[in-house]
Each structure stands twice: as C-alpha cells, then as structure tokens.
A = this chain, B = another copy of it.
Amino acid sequence: MRCGIYCIAAWGVKSVIPALLDAGLKVIDLSGDYRYDNVEVYEKWYKEKHSSPELLKESVYGLCELHRDKIRKSRLIGNPGCYTTCSILAAAPLLAAGVAETKNIIVDAKSGVTGAGRGLGLAYHFCECTENTKAYKVATHRHTSEIEQELSNIAGEEIMISFTPHLIPQKRGILSTVYINLKKQGMTAGDVQEIYENYYKGEFFVRVKAQGELPETKHVAGSNFVDIGVVLDERLNRVVAVSALDNIVKGAAGQAIQNMNIMFGLDEKTGLDFPGFYL
C-alpha cells in the first residue's frame, strides 16, 4: 500500500497523472479533469482540449455516497469539489425516487471564501469580501455541467439546471438551496422526508435533519459531514432542499481522504471521524 502517500494529486499537474498510473499508483485528482463521462462536455465547459481523454473511460466521479462500489475498484478518481458535492446530494434522493420533475430544477448556492482556494486576487482581499455578498458566473459556472451529469445519470434522462454561485463573507461553508417540483401530486412532507432518510440510510457523513429542521454551515464547519434539510411547499408542490458542508473537508480534501479510504479498503471514516466546531 505504498501508493497511499502519493495518491492525491494537486490541481493543475495534469500531465503527471498518466505517468503515475503507469507506475501502478492510484490517483485521486482534485481538478475537474477526470470528473466527466463525456469529453465533449468537459471541452465545452472548460474551453480547452482534454489532455488524456482515453482515461475518462475508467475514471470514476468521486462522490463517495453515489459511487462507492466503482470507487473501490478504480485507480483514477475525479474528486468533486464543494459546490457539486453539496448540490448533487441535495437533489439526488428525489430524482432517484422518480417523483421529481426534471425541468425547473434550480440550485442557488452560497459559498464561503475558502471555496476560492488560496490564490491572491483583489476579489478575495479581506476588505472586498467582508460585509459583502454577490452572485457571480450566473448561468455560466462550469460546475453546472458536473451537477447536470450526475443528476441526469440518476434520473435516467437529460437534466439541465440553473446553478447560481454566490460569494458570502465567511471562510468555511457552502449552503445549497435546491428547488425541485414534484411530478407526483398529493405527497406529504412526511413522504418527502422518508425519501431522504431512506436514500441516506447508513451513510455516516450525510445527516438528514429531522423534519422542520434546517442545516446551517456552522453545524458542519470543520467536519466531513453534509447536512440536508427538506421542506415541502404544499402550495406549490415543490420541494426546497437545503444542504450544507465545509468547502475544505467534505468539499475537497476530506472527500479525497474518504475516497482513499474506500480505494484502499480502510474504514471509510479513518481520519475523518471528528465532529467539527460549532463556533
């Protein structure tokens, strides 16, 4: 298991990945390169040629709760980031249950500044961020395509969504608010709650909130948990699902470790079983 220590590749060193695989190592890539089933989708949203399209046949989208079995057998993981992990997990149960309309799905996401990484830019200067909220890359953010790919796979039909990222004045935390119309009439809040609880039964890192409760980013800060709360708006027969995670744990490095644990047959919680910090 000597490969363990080499297994998490950094962003932007894409050329090294085929060589690592050739050397018999397993790779968990935190860039977007190996998150796609279809190279054309990647090239459309990233506006560049993929460097190793042949590897997409074997790479697995590393959202552990959705693809655990494939991850276990794979040597190349495209580790998803914070926006996509948070948003996909909030929508998946309704689509898997076949009760959701696939049109008019809206994902309105709010991200703390760690979501932007550590690079310098005036937009991330303390004085520019504090006491400010903004939307950005409306209708054009490339993570839209990842969310669409995964939700389409779950639903078994092509789904296109609105995804709107926002920058909020805090370090850690993403909150996704997802709007999904029900195609089935007459469902109760209890029915919806049950769909979520069943879908995530046995998942240690996904905590479905009790009915009437909603996640907050501080509840997951410093932890690998994703909290999800669901509300049925009966007037509109629409579900509002709210999910929260910590950008730099379940939204990046934490999930990479979770993937590593799965790939190497370790207890999935190894190194990740801590509660975070409420304050």
Contact = CB atoms under 8 A, between A and B. Distances in A.
B175 A231 contact: no
Contact of A126 (B135, B164, B169): B169
Number of copies: 4
A133 B242 contact: no
Nearest to A218: B132
A222 B221 contact: no
A215 B90 CA distance: 27
Contacts of A125: 113, 118, 120, 124-126
Nearest to A101: B104
**A-side interface size class:** 35 or more
Contacts of A132: 170, 173, 216-218
Given A175-B166, A240-B164, A138 B231 contact: yes
Nearest to A170: B131
Q: Most chain-B Cβ atoms within 10 A of its Cβ — which of A126, A164, A168, A177?
A: A126
A194 interface: no
Contact of A138 (B162, B170, B240): B240
